[in-house]
Amino acid sequence: MKSIEVRDEQPPQRLVLLRLGVNTLSDGALARSCEQSFASLGMHAFSVFGLPDGGYHELARLVPVFVYRPKFLEAIARDVLAAGFALLPTSAAPHWSIVLAQPKPENFAVVRSLFRGPVNNPLWVGRRA
């Protein structure tokens, strides 16, 4: 297990969280993410990206893979927190981790209900060559 790198930062009130892809909140995808996170960090979590103040262009600069994903799912950080999930500022900004107490289908259903979409990526450039 490695140590968890957490930035000294709280989520802004209006932070929009993006989960890249349209199938990444399925039970299977969330179970795999939670399993991998638990093996490496000791917590059941999955990754999201916070939309920076510079919008999608800034996100694409910070997370270049963003332009190769045609769609994403989005949630509001305060809704995630209000639903009882922890939101940790892990790794480099704008990366965040949503932490689940247990990787169970009922928890997956609750977290999935907080996201809307799929949303079309306005910066999508097509598949990587």
pLDDT in tens, 19-57: 999 999 999 999 999 999 999 889 999 999 999 999 999
The most distant pair of C-alpha atoms in the chain lies apart, rounded to whole Å, by 41
Contact 110, 24 (CB under 8 A): no
Confidence check: pLDDT of 4 > 80: no
- Give the per-residue pLDDT at 6: 80
Confidence of residue 13 (pLDDT cuts 50, 70, 90): confident
Q: How many angstroms from the chain centroid is the CA of residue 112? A: 11
Contacts of 15 (CB under 8 A, 6+ apart): 50, 51, 76, 77, 78
